Amino acid sequence: MPSKGHLNLITNNSSHYDPQISELVSRMDLNEKIGQLSQFSGHDACIPDHLQKALREGCVGSILNEVDGTTIKEMQRIVVEESRLGIPLLIGRDVIHGFKTIFPIPLGQAASWSPELVESAARVAALESASCGVNWTFAPMIDISRDPRWGRIAESLGEDPYLCSVLGVAMVKGFQGDNLADVGSIAACAKHFAGYGAAESGRDYNTTNIPENELRNVYLPPFKAVAEAGVATFMASFSDLNGVPASGNEWLMKQVLREEWDYPGFVVSDWESIKQLSVHGFTANDKEAAFEAANAGIDMEMVSTTYHKHLPSLIGEGKISVSQIDSMVSKVLRLKFALGLFENPYIEADRLPALLCDEHLAVARKAATKSCVLLKNDFQILPLDANNIKSLAIIGPLADDAYEQLGTWIFDGEAQHSVTCLQAIQDAIGDRVELHYAKGIDSSRSEDQGDFAHAVQIATSSSVALMFLGEESILSGEAHCRSDIKLPGCQEQLISAIADTGTPIILVVMAGRPLTLEKIMPQADAVLYAWHPGTMGGPAIADLLFGVHSPSGKLPVTFPRTVGQIPLYYGQKNTGKPATNDSFMHMNDIPLRAAQTSLGMSATHLDTHFTPLFSFGYGLSYTTFCYQNISLSQHSIALGESLEVNVELSNIGNIDAEEVAQLYVRDLVGNVTRPVKELKGFQRVYLQAGRSRTLSFTLSSADLAFYDRKMQLRTEPGQFHLWIGGNSETELRTEFEIHNEVN
């Protein structure tokens, strides 16, 4: 996991401003205190009279969804110069994967397996949003996501606690920089605390039931990692967790976050999630909701007004103490001091780079390039050689759609700044190749096959068909969940129609989630999974198609064969009857009127193979990498010790490329059952053709700790398996043991 305290952020400076905070709180009246706990929504570059009044009265702590610099400056001027105490505002915005320069969706960034790249993308997003007055973003979203039906998997960093932790910390560092007070740094917010990604049936806002052991071993580690790294704020989940909605969950907010983790930052609700406690059936009315949320430890209310309306009476009745309110207010003020807002609350756009500058676009292009995952490449049809191709057919509704390639949750991104795949391919090949273009269908959801004929015509007369399919950006993201995650509309039929021409198909998929592609995979000669790649998606994809770069992305989430396999993830438990190829039997292999038996007697479905279509960590390259000669510095270590793992990585192909080497372990016997594999390390390595390199990993006994049945974090002595390779199904394995230290 990321090391503690390596960022100079609010966690490390938690007491620096205490004297100023105490003095300021002592001067505040109750309305001003509750104001600091209240976040209001903006009004599209205007300040209505009721909001101006609240600002002058010091009754607003934060504004969200206002990005007009002039309006933000005026709101800050009102609170600083006209309110009694002059407390500046937090200006919040969902800057999820870019501001004006849009990067791949977070799930796509996770496919880069590059903390450096994720940090760089977040840094650009911080610089651009800060130039418009934003000082707080509601990212990173570090919910472990194992159900691709869930729309918000697009915003996640995937299914694995270790990968999510490393990349989440990198994103926090990118947003917050080395010091929150630096120009261009903005506060990050870890969301959604906690377990939101386990929503039943993949339906947003739905119930989550997660045993505490699973919660601590899988869903909480990324949040603990960013807390230790100094993330400025947390956001409570919409969902209920084991019967107690997160926005009123005292165990989660007090015991875990405050007492166990000693987290000093503040917690904000999600949009109206306090008011929604009554919709859950957890409270009878808004007053009870305000009590439960404040008592649980929700420091700021987003948009709804239960705190404003009911905290005074709850204090008067003795249900909430003034000291509780003072503690909540102090946390909010501490962030404002840490951001330097008391010294300079105003925008300093002249000290920041221009929006969409060349440097920012270059980072976006690099991020899109490294996020694409090559899933199939039969007969090495890729990369294309423009000098040896007579004609290309460009087919699909996403080939030239500047908006849809941006992806979900891009409030500030603009289509006119995108470079599409069609544009980029035209720029790449010039006049060397005859180019034909047909959308084939009007949109990814269309069922109208009326334009198939044109697409078939150009494919028939072309050397290769490049198809750009997937799902529109609106089909993933918050509240955009799907029960069937195949290619929507009549896209599968379009692929079949083009396949019938006999022209080779290279399929580029843009989507916000894993899709079930098993049916169409045999029809495509190559498949490049591009997620929603952002502003510079077109040039990045063109670079990959024509071999300027080799694909190097790896899947951060498992791809199921069918939706019925969900949830499907690599770190599963073995069960007492694990599935094997020997035990698997397809239902079509069962004789009619067979005797009633348990058949293979293993954990499988009868109508699909138990393996995924593509495993976690999977991704092809234009070259071939070979792993061999795995070795350990020692095969037995005591508790508290570490061992070094070495492996020889060779590029045995003829193309220079990058590989993501992955280290997995299995604890064979545990106080509670352990996953069949767990990611414990990875390295992104550039290797020239024909070259070899020895990679080294350090693994400590602490890296193998887990929460046992008593919810105690511990490493147990015993036997372990260890693998290193290019994906989670690697077979290059060795073994080691951990023993009790001998006195």
Q: How far is CA 46 from the centre of its chain?
A: 33
Q: Which residue in 556, 565, 557, 555 sits closest to 527, CA to CA? A: 555
Q: Per the structure block, which two tokens stand in for 40?
A: 């209001």
- Active-site residues: which are they? 270
d(CA 561, CA 516): 6
8-state DSSP, 532: S
The secondary element (H helix, E strand) that includes residue 360 is: helix 358-371
- For residues 72 and 89, give the distance between their C-alpha atoms in angstroms, rounded to a whole number: 9
Establish how many alpha carbons lie within 13 A of residue 681's alpha carbon, considering only the half-sphere containing its beta carbon: 19
569 to 486, 545, 587, 704: CA distances (angstroms):
18, 29, 23, 20
CB 516 within 8 A of CB 470: no
Rounded to whole angstroms, the maximal C-alpha distance in the chain is 85
Burial 84-123 (b: 16+ CB within 10 A, else e): eeebbbbbbbbbbbbbbbbbbbbbbbbbbbbbebbbbbbb
CA 603, CA 574: separation in Å to the nearest integer? 9
Number of separate helices (H) and strands (E) present in the chain: 19, 26
Q: At what angle do helices 306-316 and 286-296 cross, to 10 degrees?
A: 80
Scanning the structure block, which residue is given the tokens 């620096």?
A: 16
Retrieve residue 599's tokens.
Answer: 């058949």
Query: In the structure encoding, which two tokens stand for residue 174, read together?
Result: 């990118």
Number of neighbours of residue 620 by Cβ within 10 angstroms: 23
Tokens of 219: 């869903």
DSSP per residue, 432-488? SSEEEEE-SSSSTT----TTHHHHHHHHHTSSEEEEEEE--GGGSSTT---S--SPP
Coarse DSSP helix, strand, coil percentages of the chain, rounded to the nearest 5 percent: 30, 20, 50
Look up residue 631 and give its two tokens: 């070795």
Question: What is the residue whose two structure tokens read 């791809």?
Answer: 559
In the chain, the amino acid numbered 426 is Q
